[in-house]
Amino acid sequence: YLKKEESFKIHVIYEDEHILAIDKPINFVCTDENIHRFFPKEHTLIHRLDKDTSGVLLIAKNFEAKEKIIPLFLEKKIEKEYLAIVDGEVSFNEKKIENFLIKDKIIDGQTIYTQGNNGKYALSYFYKLASKKDFSLILANPITGRTHQLRVHLKKLNHPILGDFLYSKKFKFQGFVERLMLHSYKLSFFNPFTEEDLIIKSEIPILFTKYFDDIQSLV
């Protein structure tokens, strides 16, 4: 929940009669109660992002929208693209990670997930966009939508997301990291209401340009 002293600016980046998308700021917790601080009671979340992740977040403006859009996520008909700045110089150009994720333990009130045969199926694709000595820019395409999926998968590749101190204590990059460097950049899907392909993009956070000043030309 939002604390009273927390103040957020919520930017609407797409809206039609049935759905809207906001550019979710970091530290904003995805609950309907928090959404209702900014939008009418009829508005509800269609999906969620981690508290520490920024970017495109879809909201249903009515019950019909929720009924039609949520199945698109479940049927994997919504393409999700994330930008991540990860630790170390990535050697691969493209990588697929496929496993099962289970709850492992709780640290500071946060659930940690790990690989486990009795868990939920998780599939992600990763593409290198740029690389430097101690960090790299990755485009992540999660096919499934498990909690902390990208964080766990990138840790498994030995390239944890910068700022992800929940999953990694050691980083090659020794500079100060202001936030979890994971951003929901783009959602693409067929809008059942307009019957047109819809692409919703979020602005790349300014902090990301600290690492790659030419990031706009890389994505």
Beta-sheet strands, E only, within the chain: 11-15, 19-24, 44-45, 54-60, 79-87, 94-107, 110-115, 120-131, 135-142, 182-191, 196-201
Look up tokens 């990694």; give the residue. Answer: 168
Of 158, 183, 142, the closest CA to residue 50 belongs to: 183
Q: Which long-range contacts (CB under 8 A, 24 or more apart) does 66-69 make?
A: 68/18, 68/192, 68/193, 69/19, 69/192
Question: Pick the catalytic residue: 23, 32, 50, 197?
Answer: 50
Is 52 an annotated catalytic residue? Answer: no
DSSP states along 25-74 = PTT----HHHHTTTS-TT-EESS---TT-EEEEEEESSHHHHHHHHHHHH
- DSSP H helical ranges for the chain: 32-35, 63-74, 149-156, 215-218
Structure tokens at 164: 């992800």
* Residue 189: strand pairing partners: 198
Of 182, 213, 184, 219, the closest CA to residue 87 belongs to: 182
3-class secondary structure, 134: coil
Catalytic residues: 50
